Amino acid sequence: MGPELTAAQKSGAKASILVIVLVLVLFVLVLVAGHPIMYFGTGLASVAYTIVVYTPVLALCALAYRRLR
Amino acid sequence: MLPWYIPVGAELGTIVIAFVVAFAGVKAYGKERAAYFLAGSVLWTSIIENLGVIDKSYTYYTYAGLFGPNYSGYLFWVGQVPLWIELGWVVVALSLFVLIHEVLLPGRSPFLQAAVAGLFAVNIDLLIDPVAVANNLWMWINPSVYMLGVPAYNFAGWFCLIFFYDLLFNYTILQNKPVAVLGRIEGLFLRDRYTSNAKTARFAFRLIVTILMVAVLLTIVAAVLLAVAKTGGVA
């Protein structure tokens, strides 16, 4: 582990987690409000793909959040 | 054509998120270093993205004419590329940089940090690009090996851009370190190489060198994939 983070660095890191979550939400909204099929041909496959693709990056955010608490 | 709120929402949404990431950068690294990151990354991605448009890899004029004959599809542009595309890249790059360098892998090898950032950027783009293509936010127009409706070299490009920009910012602005392979060349151009006075010149110099290197690297990858596509008939 590195040195202890300052309060400002912690709030910067929390804002970074928020940013990643907002990006993911934005593109899910585009998917839902626009053309929901993507490459796969069915909406169900698109939902499954989205869940699979989001899992690692959401795990990264969750781990970072846990370390910041 | 899809509803107007798709391109407008994507553009304005990304611009709003860019303000949040700027706040995150300022909090984590202070105003000066955050400004270096933002300016450098906008410049870097503007050049790479415009080269992609000039090279006819993709186009951003898919929603041109949406609000009238003179409307080019998005509100703000840098050359042939909408500003929100550059900002989207900045958003992913800076947020991952803060999390990986300060929270998840602090004090670890810079190459490991950059590689992990690159891999997670590809992870995020695995949704961004297929959704964007399905909704015509941009359109890939060149023959290549495609994955999920997107040329495979795009994902290599995301990794390379994040990986090299991470190293560039880390070595030049955060750590102010010499880079052996560039030392002699920098010595020719920069009198005072490793003091804070030369930081901007050194950052600009390394930025240009890295952009050229990445552009050449991606051109080679794209050419190889084009050859594979033509051979295998998958273009």
Interhelix angle A43-68/A7-33, nearest 10 degrees: 170
Q: What is the pLDDT of residues B74-93, one digit of tens each?
A: 999 999 999 999 999 999 99
pLDDT for the residue B212: 93
Exposed, middle or buried by CB within 10 Å (0-12, 13-18, 19+), for B86?
buried
Q: How many CB pairs under 8 A join A and B?
A: 141
Q: Collapse the DSSP code of B66 into the 3-class scheme (helix H, G, I; strand E, B; otherwise coil) and give the result.
A: coil
Q: In B, which residues are within 8 Å of A8 by CB distance?
A: 27-28
User: How far apart are the CA of B130 and the nearest CA of chain A, in angstroms?
Assistant: 6
The three-point CA angle A9-B178-B199 to 5° equals: 60
Q: What is the pLDDT of residues B186-231, one digit of tens each?
A: 777 766 655 556 788 889 988 999 999 999 999 999 999 989 888 8
Q: Collapse the DSSP code of B88 into the 3-class scheme (helix H, G, I; strand E, B; otherwise coil) and give the result.
A: helix
Q: Collapse the DSSP code of B212 into the 3-class scheme (helix H, G, I; strand E, B; otherwise coil) and give the result.
A: helix
Q: Does B229 touch chain A (CB under 8 A)?
A: no
User: How far apart are the CA of A9 and the nearest CA of chain B, in angstroms?
Assistant: 4
Q: In A, which residues are within 8 Å of B24 by CB distance?
A: 12-13, 15-16, 18-19
What letter does residue B168 receive in the DSSP assignment?
H
Q: What is the pLDDT of residues B126-166, one digit of tens each?
A: 999 999 998 999 999 988 899 988 999 999 999 999 999 99
Stretch 45-64 of chain B: residues touching chain A, C-beta under 8 Å: none
- Percentage helix, strand, coil, to 5, in chain B? 70, 5, 25
Say how far apart CA A56 and CA B96 lie, in whole Å: 13
Task: Check pLDDT > 90 for residue B182.
Answer: no
Answer yes or no: do B127 and A13 touch at CB < 8 A: no
pLDDT for the residue B128: 94
- The neighbour count for residue A61, using CB atoms within 10 Å, is 21
Rounded to an integer, the average pLDDT of B55-63 is 91
Query: What's the mean per-residue pLDDT of chain B?
Result: 90
Q: What are the residues facing B140 on neighbouring strands?
A: B58
Say how far apart CA B54 and CA B40 lie, in whole Å: 21
Rounded to an integer, the average pLDDT of A44-58 is 93
Task: Check pLDDT > 60 for residue B233.
Answer: no
Interhelix angle B110-134/B83-98, nearest 10 degrees: 140
Percent of chain A with pLDDT over 90: 68
**Torsion-angle region of residue B146: left (phi > 0), alpha (psi -120 to 50) or beta?**
beta
Rounded to an integer, the average pLDDT of B93-103 is 98
Q: In A, which residues are within 8 Å of B126 by CB distance?
A: 53
User: How far apart are the CA of B183 and the nearest CA of chain A, in angstroms?
Assistant: 29
- Percentage helix, strand, coil, to 5, in chain A? 80, 0, 20
Of the candidates A8, A34, A54, the beta carbon closest to that of B135 is on A34
3-state secondary structure A26-46: HHHHHHHHCCCCHHHCCHHHH
Answer yes or no: do B102 and A9 touch at CB < 8 A: yes
Rounded to an integer, the average pLDDT of B36-61 is 93
Say how far apart CA A23 and CA B84 lie, in whole Å: 12
**Token digits of residue B209:** 């060198």
The amino acid that residue B50 corresponds to is: N
Q: In B, which residues are within 8 Å of A11 by CB distance?
A: 27
Q: Does B38 touch chain A (CB under 8 A)?
A: no
Q: What is the pLDDT of residues A18-47, one digit of tens each?
A: 999 999 999 999 988 888 777 778 888 888
User: Are A47 and B55 within 8 A, CB to CB?
Assistant: no
The closest alpha carbon to A19, from B120, B56, B96, belongs to B96
Rounded to 10 degrees, the C-alpha dihedral B224/B228/B229/B234 comes to: -150
Q: In B, which residues are within 8 Å of A67 by CB distance?
A: 103-104
Q: Collapse the DSSP code of B18 into the 3-class scheme (helix H, G, I; strand E, B; otherwise coil) and give the result.
A: helix
The amino acid that residue B7 corresponds to is: P
Percent of chain B with pLDDT over 70: 93
Rounded to an integer, the average pLDDT of B106-122 is 97
Q: Does B213 touch chain A (CB under 8 A)?
A: no
Rounded to an integer, the average pLDDT of B163-186 is 84
Say how far apart CA A30 and CA A41 lie, in whole Å: 17
User: Are B41 and B114 within 8 A, CB to CB?
Assistant: no
Q: In B, which residues are within 8 Å of A34 by CB distance?
A: 2-3, 6, 134-135
Domain ranges of chain B: 5-232
User: Are B190 and B202 within 8 A, CB to CB?
Assistant: yes
pLDDT for the residue B162: 96
Q: In B, which residues are within 8 Å of A19 by CB distance?
A: 17, 20-21, 24, 91, 94-95
pLDDT for the residue A26: 95
